[in-house]
Amino acid sequence: MYKLTEDSILKDGMSIPRDPANRHYQEFLDYVIEHGVADIDGGEEVVQEDYATLRVAEYPSIEEQMDMIYHVGIDAWRASIKAIKDKYPKSMKRETVAKPVPNWVMEEANKKAGQ
Amino acid sequence: MAGSLVVSDINGAGFVDNLIINPEFTLNQRGSASRTTTSSAYNYDRWYYDGTHLYQGVENESLRNGTYSLSWSGSSTAAYSLNTAGSSGQGAESYTAITSGSQITISGLTTETLWVRFTGDLANLTEVMLSKGTGASSFVGRSYGEELALCQRYYEVLETSSEIVICPMAQYNSTVAYGVYQFTQKRAVPTVTFLAGSTVKYFRGSSAIDIGTPARETIGTQTLRLSVINSATVGTAGWLAFTDGGGALQIDAEL
């Protein structure tokens, strides 16, 4: 079964580029011509990252944190870190939704079929 | 001047360019047990097997209008097809039978690929030669290194049975680390496969994170961008490696 990602097409461990000169890409188009896109996995879109990713993105750099401890004190530093942890509790899991197969797939297949 | 050089004097003397790659079946990067082990696949380098025939496609970029001579050793029979199917075009068009030492004439060339195919005693087929000109030339071999370089325009594999570093990585944003692996320039953007059983780990500091297969790959004709979903601060360095049982990264741009 084919699965689309942002950059390529996956099948049986292969990562297939959208290059017309690539034979696996041509086989993919042949599959679409014959079977349509019903069996193709359009991939997934992340609607929410997990807590660890969100926290890492928001934590100040190590240098900024050391600076805060030196100038404002460790309690203030602890409070600022806790605010981020409370904002993104451990219950926050990564959530994704299925994406529809993009239009270019049928367009490219139709183009090949018409040749 | 001692006299004019006559073309017939140098035929077969090593100056003839053979458009067939791996004509003596010396290159087997996939480690196939034979030339015909797997059907509908490439086994030995550059030779595609469909269950009956061995095919080799000569890409359009290597062809010119004119006459070519095809010759080979062994009792196999051959045919050729000049078609625009290009990739996956091995069986797409009708083929014309040809005997060893005979000519193929190409005219009005645009985007066609020339496919030659053999059937019969494929195990003993060797010294396949396709050269420009009307006279059948004596077979001219190439060194193993030259042949490997020609084959790697179409296929190469990074393979190990133990630990080997694939590429260095650096954290791009809070969720993704990127690395670039470079390989011999291919004829087209290749298909990339981590073969089954490959154990790939991402090393960061003292951590070794088992990631199975890198999450995304963006590729050009000579670079592969590997990415790992990973939480770390921007700029954090690491490296990607095969570990434990090893593995193989296959890069395939065959016709």
* pLDDT of B136 over the 90 cut: no
Assess whether pLDDT exceeds 70 at residue B88.
no
By mean pLDDT, which of B11-25, B27-41, B192-206 is the weakest?
B11-25
CB contact under 8 A, A14 and B193: yes
Question: Residue A14 and residue B255: Cβ atoms within 8 Å?
Answer: no
Q: Which of B7, B4, B3, B2 is nearest to B137 (CA)?
A: B7
CA distance A34 to A106: 11
Q: Cβ of A19 and B216 within 8 Å? A: no
With 90 as the cut, is the pLDDT of residue B188 above it? yes
Minimal-distance CA residue of chain B relative to A13: B193
Q: Using alpha carbons, select from B167, B180, B174, B171 the residue that is nearest to residue B239.
A: B167
Start-to-end C-alpha separation, chain B = 47
Residues of B within 8 A of A19 (CB-CB) are 188-189
Specify the 3-state DSSP secondary structure of B147: helix
Poorest-confidence range of B54-63, B175-184, B242-251? Answer: B242-251
Residue B227: closest C-alpha in chain A? A7
Q: Who among B196, B231, B252 is closest to A56 (CB)?
A: B231
pLDDT score of B89 more than 80: no
Task: Please count the other Cβ atoms lying within 10 Å of the Cβ belonging to residue B178.
Answer: 18
A103 at B interface, C-beta within 8 A: no
pLDDT tens digit sequence for A75-97:
999 999 999 999 999 999 989 88
pTM for this structure? Answer: 0.83
Q: What is the mean pLDDT of residues A27-42?
A: 95
Q: Do A15 and B189 touch (CB under 8 A)?
A: no
Using CA atoms, how far residue B90 sits from A53, B79, B182, in Å, is 48, 12, 29
Q: How far apart are CA B254 and CA B47, in angstroms?
A: 9
Which residues in chain A are contacts of B86 at CB distance < 8 A? 21, 26
Alpha-carbon distance B169 to B30, whole Å?
28
Looking at the complex, report in whole angstroms how far the Cα of residue B153 sits from the nearest Cα belonging to chain A.
13
Select from A6, A13, A16 the Cβ nearest to the Cβ of B216: A6
Please state, in angstroms and rounded to a whole number, the distance separating the CA atoms of residues A81 and B153. 53
Which residues in chain A are contacts of B173 at CB distance < 8 A?
A: 57
Nearest CB to A16; choose among B187, B191, B232: B191
